[in-house]
Chains A and B, each alone.
Chain A
């Protein structure tokens, strides 16, 4: 049971949480003032401590530092008592398990901090072994430079120990690294400790500065999590130290760990300022769903166009011009870094209208490779009678690569720039004689495409075979032949929100349903984690979910991932949109 820790907000593996002590601690945060260590059992037999609500009691432990042989770990691993006050259990990645504690202290922190491979392995293994709603404490390793990386990986609690010890050694810490105090001509900081003259600044001041800076770095991390933008910060900040960069790159390779924890929709914008952005879960997931789940339902030719800075693309001037030339005679797919390819039906769908990239007119080799891989995979899944590439010169290498890989040919229509009169005329004349598709077809195909993307391959047909569409794009609504609303397209995220009738269709359809099984109550507003009996593993934050129990059938949006719903004892599991009593 985790009674004294609650996760309020999530940003990938990072969480904004609350250590619910008499004086609550917002996490990621410092535990210096609230930690009560009941002591090591290596030195003495310990009684179960009294404990209290004001502190996080570290239960009597035999800490196993890095390098402890496996058999010794197995022989000496601690057994922890069940206590009814805030408690922490000391574990190693090998011994970590659900010990019923609110927090877990990683005894190998000193061994793994600084070594990206070992660090990622330790965090991923430990996080997977302890309950999702417990806090993870890495003792003695936090610095202003590494806390963003620690939090990004899933660490909730840290302390000032290393920052203080470094200060006593004349190491001046900042978010961008570490300096020998004697090497600094001036103090690059405005904290209270750095107010005096440089000449008077001694190691005691350095200790104070390090603590202030660590606190500020933690506040930055917490704000970033609130905004859902820790990754964007980290892609820049982590570059100051190699192991930090290596950590997030290695975590990108631990796709399962991050994907499980990354929301499927959010308001925050993605800053695409480095090649690393291409490996973000949001980007990979979109590319994967577009190639694996989405299916083009139009019979018209393909027109590949460049993306626009303005989102959604259709709001941009350039896409307006493309549209005028195409005149509903082709299926428009935008090529973009870092997203890959965006079929016109998915231009609203997160993150297709939620990113901003650095535009220089040059593409990096990684971008070229990524976009051509996605385009290639897309064209293997979707066949077109003709393929027109209305793209500027810098996109040509991508198209040519795909032509070579797939043995296909594009018709190129751009002479200098896609929006010049000549280029647009070329595009229009290339489509001369092609049939126009109707508005109804466009609207139906849009709703079905989003359903495919959101619920799985074929879901668009399974859910929306016989629909009537009401309202105007982008606020499309799907109704059944009897007039009852099934779903609405949410323009902000480009996903569907279902009604109860839509949810029933989903349950009855072949498309895999994401279910939250609850106890015998009728949820209103939200479903709290303790009321969840079970939940589909595949649920991600932001997913549509069906909530079912003996007394209720409801539909809503997930606030936790599936495992977290099933394991957590605190927090909101899902927000409920519509509910019916049974």
Chain B
């Protein structure tokens, strides 16, 4: 029990409703978004290469999917591991209809695409409903296992629907080869619009009393039921809405990619989405967007990194483990006044680390890489700097960051020794020497490592349950404001 309970920044709106202000803000927001999307389409799209565009489209798609999964996984607390299946359903249903009827229907593309998005949403929502209904009997791990199985079943069904004798009803969804002949109608700004819509829907939900009933199911289902919340209905609703948004993303993907191959919807898509939601902070929409975009960009960015020999990698890992364990023991033993001085001293390596991040981003800017990745890295480096130099984190987080930098530097130094050691062991060297890893091949290892580090240091995720808002920003700078005080 804390003597003075910490004040939270509630997601409920802090200002009272007034019609004039409400409608001005609303219309203003719509105009601004439309202008922004138009400007983007006019100036950015023609200047981006195919590869840059691909990365941007993928990261927007995954951010949207993460936001929709966050609704199920984060806000309602139902651990779903089969989100790729909803994404696939939206893509395959709308793609199939498009490939069959678009040419003959004579409907203009600007009308056909929204129609297909609705079709994808409805199709995926129905499937979400179908999965959601049995889910009302399952909790926690059981639900996770069931949805995981469902995700695979959906993919395997699509693979087997190749129009052959084995296919159900002779339906041709392209099989393992993939559904072809989908018209290309999606532009990048459509995806951004969908992301904005997905964010707005979940954000609005959290801002109203309805959102509280979703959160209450996450927090304690039994108590929610005793308070009159129809928890099963809430769960099924969450599944349906989450699936519908994923279905829309699928429909846009199908009409961007021109084909729908089951390989793009493997279980690792679901895993990655879960990782995004967890790293972002379960329940935080902001967190889902941030980790959605950055993990997807990171995945692509790894392709540009040089490979690393197995000896160097394992040498570094061994050195890292040894230094971390030693550093923990040493740091733990520094107490009292020495601790204060030590923490102050750690600010210096922290600042050096931040400088290195900025310098790295600067060097990267000149490298031969996709603009999107470069921008993302610069933004991450800047965000890291801002987050660490805030008054609230300067004395707490920066020394920790400095400590991590010291450990990393030490581990790098020690790794020369461990590499030499690995070379000395002849049978091991014979195995390790010929192996060279590409950074992109290690992406799952890197994601898992990121997940482990986040879980150890910040189990609530990057944003915990917080959302980006002006109140949140003010809160970071130490200005707290009472919210929702009754008149």
A pairs with B: no
Residues of A bordering B, CB below 8 Å? none
